[in-house]
């Protein structure tokens, strides 16, 4: 039976496709696009959430929109109690709609330092050095500036320079320069370290989600099918081969055969959970849930890590960009020119740094929020610190064999003391910026959180109480040559199973020193090349 286009349809299930892609997140959409336009094969994409909502198109409004519709747009994950955070549990929402988290994120397009990818290659992953990954970044991109070796101008993904540069962000950059931090004109170019305005996944002032950018243009009968509302129960494995996918749609259990391959692109939390429900994972854990073991793969669900964040909040006497008068002026500016306040993501500028000389990759990122988020007062700014080369590791485990049960997510925050030391150094960099003449003369300061003059013990307590997720989970289906320590090989094939690949942030051996969406898109591009046999 040939696939047909159905968005949210609850009838006439697709019975067979050449390729079945599990998850319409960033990487899944890229793989579907490339297979659909290049292979002539039947491609089915199964997505548990709904179609992309164009209520998310306007950047500033989208952040408000999704936060109020989180239940319909996200998986509402909550971590296990964190031993180093006094037993706190953190909310870890991930996108549950076409485009995945690219439909609800802050749109920061930051690839990661070249040394991150060179480190992947050094771990035994052939073809993953930065020089080998760069063409795949460029292929995706439709940059609104001039093309170069670092930027493409004809890809599906709109990437733009920030169209909103608030006064407080300019002050932040002046403070960085005064503190000795160089200003970079392009984090994705020849100078990936320093401070500057971020490039964003926007086009003419509108959000660019992977769903509309990559997937929607190829969804048509006989080519690519997107089936939404499909909750994956397991991948069917016969005689060591992935031969199809079992899923629920509207309460009905269905199956689809994959004539060629299954590509698992459900994200760093769901991809390992689906593998484990399918019998691929740590044998003892699977058997404890009554799951028959197809492959004893101890690394499945291990190596979970995230970028922990720490607020460094300063009082601001600079007029808030989102006060009523600014909103009233910003609406017509956006309607007429697609510029100004409504193109903002609240964090248009930032910095990528090494907290101490000689490090292999940058280890801290400052995300400048021109309005500190709750629970901080409205007249504040936040030099939000992220530890972007974390050493702490956690895990994803099944809560039960029930596919509707959320997995047990334990990021293991601060279980490696090195992360606390890195955060401490990063906070001191933020404080140095906050003490500059540029900051103080503009009316930014004093420091409110963690608080000027706080003792080291008080600082650590504030850090543990204030730690937030960077929303960048990675590593749970780690790529590498050794099946005892990794889940997929350097062609993204699952060790021990034929006809099955994983393509999302879960395969990162080490999380990139950046927001993870750009790298996830690149992983999708690489996966498609592997599937098509072009590398």
Distance of CA 384 to the CA centre of its chain: 17
Residue 14 contacts by C-beta under 8 Å, 6 or more apart in sequence?
Answer: 1, 3, 4, 44, 225, 227, 256
E strand or H helix at 212, and its extent? none
Q: Give the pair of three-digit tokens for residue 444.
A: 């930014």
Structure tokens at 479: 């790529």
- By residue count, the chain amounts to 535
**Euclidean distance between CA atoms 163 and 141, whole angstroms:** 18
- Residue 275 to residue 442: CA distance in whole angstroms: 53
The 3-state secondary structure of 324-336 reads HHHHHHHHHHHHH
Per the CB < 8 A criterion, the answer to whether 471 and 101 are in contact is: yes
Annotated catalytic, 495? no
303, 369, 384, 472: the catalytic one is: 472
Half-sphere exposure of 92 (CA within 13 A, CB side): 29
CA quadruple 316, 461, 384, 304: dihedral, nearest 10: -160
Residue 515 burial (10 A CB sphere; 0-12, 13-18, 19+) = buried
Eight-state DSSP code of residue 443: T
Q: Which residues 6+ apart lie within 8 Å of 392 measured at CB? A: 305, 308, 411, 412, 413, 414, 415, 416, 419
What is the DSSP secondary-structure string of 492-534? -BBTT-BSEEE-SGGG-SS--SS-SHHHHHHHHHHHHHHHTT-
How far is residue 218's CA from residue 214's CA, in Å, rounded to a whole number?
Answer: 8
The owner of tokens 């509402």 is 76
Structure tokens, 532: 């098509």
Distance CA 427, CA 391 (A): 18
Q: Count other C-beta atoms under 10 Å from residue 386's C-beta.
A: 26
Residue 343 three-state SS: helix
Instruction: Report the catalytic residues.
Output: 472
């Amino acid at each position: 039976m040939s696939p047909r286009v159905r968005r949210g349809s609850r009838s006439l299930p697709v019975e067979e496709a050449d390729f079945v892609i599990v998850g319409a997140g960033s990487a899944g959409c890229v793989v579907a696009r490339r297979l659909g336009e290049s292979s002539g094969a039947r491609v089915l994409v199964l997505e548990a959430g709904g179609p992309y909502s164009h209520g998310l198109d306007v950047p500033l409004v989208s952040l408000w929109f999704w936060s109020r519709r989180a239940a319909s747009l996200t998986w509402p994950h909550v971590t296990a109690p964190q031993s180093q955070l006094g037993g706190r549990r953190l909310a870890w929402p991930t996108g549950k709609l076409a485009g995945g988290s690219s439909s609800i994120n802050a749109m920061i397009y930051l690839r990661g330092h070249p040394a991150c990818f060179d480190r992947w290659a050094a771990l035994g992953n052939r073809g993953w050095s930065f020089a080998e990954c760069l063409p795949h970044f460029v292929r995706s991109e439709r940059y609104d500036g001039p093309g170069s070796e670092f930027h493409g101008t004809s890809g599906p993904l709109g990437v733009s320079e920030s169209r909103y540069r608030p006064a407080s962000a300019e002050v932040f950059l002046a403070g960085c320069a005064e503190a000795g931090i160089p200003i970079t004109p392009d984090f994705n170019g020849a100078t990936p370290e320093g401070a500057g305005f971020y490039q964003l996944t926007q086009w003419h002032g509108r959000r660019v989600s992977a769903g509309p950018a990559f997937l929607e243009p190829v969804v048509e009968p006989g080519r690519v099918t997107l089936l939404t509302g499909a909750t994956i129960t397991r991948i069917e494995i016969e005689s060591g081969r992935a031969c199809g996918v079992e899923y629920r749609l509207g309460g009905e259990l269905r199956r689809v055969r994959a004539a060629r391959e299954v590509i698992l692109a459900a994200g760093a939390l769901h991809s390992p959970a689906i593998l484990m429900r399918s019998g691929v994972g740590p044998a003892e854990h699977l058997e404890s849930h009554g799951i028959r073991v197809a492959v004893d793969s101890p690394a499945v669900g291990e190596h979970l890590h995230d970028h922990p964040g720490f607020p460094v909040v300063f009082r601001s006497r600079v007029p808030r960009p989102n006060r009523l008068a600014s909103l009233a002026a910003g609406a017509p500016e956006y309607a007429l020119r697609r510029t100004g306040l409504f193109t903002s993501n609240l964090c248009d500028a930032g910095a990528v740094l090494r907290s101490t000389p000689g490090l292999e990759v940058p280890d801290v990122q400052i995300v400048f929020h021109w309005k500190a988020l709750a629970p901080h007062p409205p007249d504040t700014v936040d030099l939000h610190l992220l530890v972007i080369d974390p050493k702490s590791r956690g895990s994803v485990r099944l809560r039960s064999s029930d596919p509707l049960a959320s997995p047990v997510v334990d990021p293991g925050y601060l279980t490696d003391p090195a992360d606390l030391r890195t955060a401490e150094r990063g906070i001191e960099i933020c404080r140095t910026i906050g003490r500059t003449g540029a900051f103080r003369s503009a009316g930014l300061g004093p420091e409110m959180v963690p608080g000027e003059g706080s003792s080291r013990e008080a600082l650590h307590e504030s850090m543990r109480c204030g730690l937030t997720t960077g929303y960048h989970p990675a590593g749970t289906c780690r790529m590498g040559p050794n099946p005892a320590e990794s889940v997929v090989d350097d062609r993204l094939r699952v060790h021990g199973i034929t006809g099955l690949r994983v393509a999302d942030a879960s395969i990162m051996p080490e999380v990139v020193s950046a927001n993870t969406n750009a790298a996830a898109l690149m992983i999708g591009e690489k996966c498609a090349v592997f599937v098509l046999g072009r590398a």
